[in-house]
């Protein structure tokens, strides 16, 4: 168990990076607190896996320092870092039995055999693989293979951190849920620092206390699931989290109001000076009220997704989405009102504070 500090980490896969675009990771400054459950969330290619591999030592960062509990481990190889990592695709040593697979990371570190046995039995019980323990790890389903991979990651009880790199991608949906719950339970029981990489927001939000959202090699926001939903710091977070994502409307500022096309929308506070920047107004579909009053919109499509309906409409030529209850009626002359408490203002994609509101 350890506190993991990333100190100005930059990484490029090119031998001589010149511009920022050459970096897979552009300046990451973050601390994973001891015993925290973190999710690294972001689209494919945003640098999540690179960051994870830098922590485990599979990749050595081009710049910056990495500290475990204040100890500099930047130059240490993977074996010396005492990190467990589970990969996206299962790795199973198929000439060994399932039991030996789980014992492998322990035996490699010369753990006494009676301790190995106790630990492996625990993992077997946890993953439900007891009936296969003495069989060769061959001809297994993808689920079972990934359980073995997960089990090997969890086998060592003294690791600094356990890193998961999209470990449930190959697993059936119902199994996914069960395994994720188990991981969470394990986290509560043993208090390991866990970092979970995923591009699935539900997975991230249900697993982690703190979600780290990455975009194009940078951390754009760190926060609780609630913060990410309510106050996205970057338009990407607004768009990536939530389904559908946040509505973003190009706007102009006029005192304490925002102008979108011909409409003026009152802001909860007066923003600071924002000269010459690209200004956008952000509102989640959940906080767009559809009714007979407010700004007129033209509805293009209504999607029924079960308990809710998603209304796609046009406001002043801009596409906007609203979520309404399944029984709510769509008026003949539809208008929308934005809930002022949930308005966010963005300048060049970054959120700006408004007076009188955090």
Partner 1 sequence: MKTWNNKAWFMVLPVLALVAFSAVIPLMTVVNYSVQDTFGNNVFFWAGTEWFEEVLASDRFWAAMGRNLAFSAIILAIEVPLGIFIALNMPRRGWGVPVCLVFMALPLLIPFNVVGTIWQVFGRIDIGLLGRGLYALGLDYNYVNDPIDAWVTIILMDVWHWTSLVVLLCYAGLVSIPDAYYQAAKIDGASRWAVFRYIQLPKMHRVLLIAILLRFMDSFMIYTEPFVLTGGGPGNTTTFLSIDLVKLAIGEFNLGEAAAMSIIYFLIILLMSWVFYTVMTNYGTEKG
- When the beta carbons of 94 and 200 are compared against partner 1, the nearer one is 94
- Nearest to partner 1 of 118, 135 (CB atom): 135
Among 7, 17, 56, 67, binds partner 1 (CB under 8 A): 56
The site string for partner 1 over 177-206 (x = CB under 8 A, - otherwise) reads: ------------------------------
Helices vs strands, H then E, count in the chain: 8, 23
Nearest distance, CB of residue 288 and partner 1, angstroms: 44
What CA–CA distance (Å, rounded) separates 27 from 315?
38
- In 99-209, beta strands by DSSP E: 161-165, 193-198
Q: Which residue has the tokens 């990536």?
A: 240
Q: Does 109 bind partner 1 (CB under 8 A)?
A: yes
The arrangement of strands across the sheet holding 263-266 comes to 252-254, 257-260, 263-266
DSSP letter string over 74-87?
TT--GGGT-EEEE-
Complete edge-to-edge strand list for the sheet that includes strand 344-347: 247-250, 279-283, 344-347, 350-352
Could you tell me the smallest distance in angstroms from the CB atom of residue 87 to partner 1? 5
**Residue pair 206/180 in contact by the 8 Å Cβ criterion:** yes
Distance of closest approach, residue 116 Cβ to partner 1, in angstroms: 13
**Residue 94 touching partner 1 (CB under 8 A):** yes
89 binds partner 1 per the rule CB under 8 A? yes
The full 3-state SS of 173-185, as one line of letters, equals HHHHHHHHHHHHH
Residue 93 binds partner 1, judged by CB under 8 A: yes
Closest distance to partner 1 from the beta carbon of 83 (Å): 7
Site residues, partner 1 (CB under 8 A)? 53, 56-58, 77-79, 83-85, 87-89, 91, 93-96, 104-105, 108-109, 135-136, 138, 149, 152-153
């Amino acid at each position: 168990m350890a506190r993991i500090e990333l100190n100005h980490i930059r990484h490029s896969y090119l031998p001589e990076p010149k511009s920022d675009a050459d970096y897979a990771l552009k300046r990451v400054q973050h601390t994973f607190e001891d015993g925290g459950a973190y999710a690294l969330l972001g689209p494919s290619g945003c640098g999540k896996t690179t960051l994870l591999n830098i922590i485990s030592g599979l990749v050595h960062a081009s710049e910056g320092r990495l500290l475990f509990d204040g100890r500099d481990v930047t130059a240490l190889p993977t074996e010396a870092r005492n990190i467990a990592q589970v990969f996206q695709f299962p790795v199973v040593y198929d000439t060994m039995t399932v039991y030996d697979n789980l014992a492998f990371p322990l035996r490699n570190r010369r753990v006494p055999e009676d301790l190995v046995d106790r630990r492996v039995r625990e993992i077997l019980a946890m993953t439900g693989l007891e009936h296969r323990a003495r069989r060769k790890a061959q001809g297994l389903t993808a689920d079972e293979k990934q359980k073995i991979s997960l089990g090997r990651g969890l086998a060592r009880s003294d690791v600094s951190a356990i890193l998961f790199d999209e470990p449930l991608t190959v697993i059936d949906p119902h199994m996914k849920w069960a395994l994720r719950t188990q991981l969470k339970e394990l986290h509560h029981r043993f208090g390991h620092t866990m970092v979970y990489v995923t591009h699935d927001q539900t997975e991230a939000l249900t697993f982690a206390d703190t979600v780290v959202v990455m975009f194009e090699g940078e951390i754009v926001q760190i926060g609780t699931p609630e913060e990410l939903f309510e106050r996205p710091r970057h338009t990407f977070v607004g768009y990536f989290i939530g389904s559908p994502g946040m509505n973003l409307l190009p706007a102009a500022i006029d005192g304490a109001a925002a102008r979108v096309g011909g409409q003026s929308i009152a802001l909860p506070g007066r923003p600071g000076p924002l000269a010459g920047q690209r200004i956008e107004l952000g509102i989640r579909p959940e906080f767009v009220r559809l009714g007979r009053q407010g700004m007129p919109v033209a509805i293009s499509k209504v999607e029924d997704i079960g308990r809710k309906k998603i209304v796609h409409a046009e406001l002043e030529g801009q596409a906007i989405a609203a979520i309404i209850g399944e029984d709510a009626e769509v008026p003949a002359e539809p208008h929308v009102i934005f809930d002022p408490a949930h308005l966010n203002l963005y300048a060049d994609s970054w959120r700006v504070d408004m007076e009188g509101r955090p």
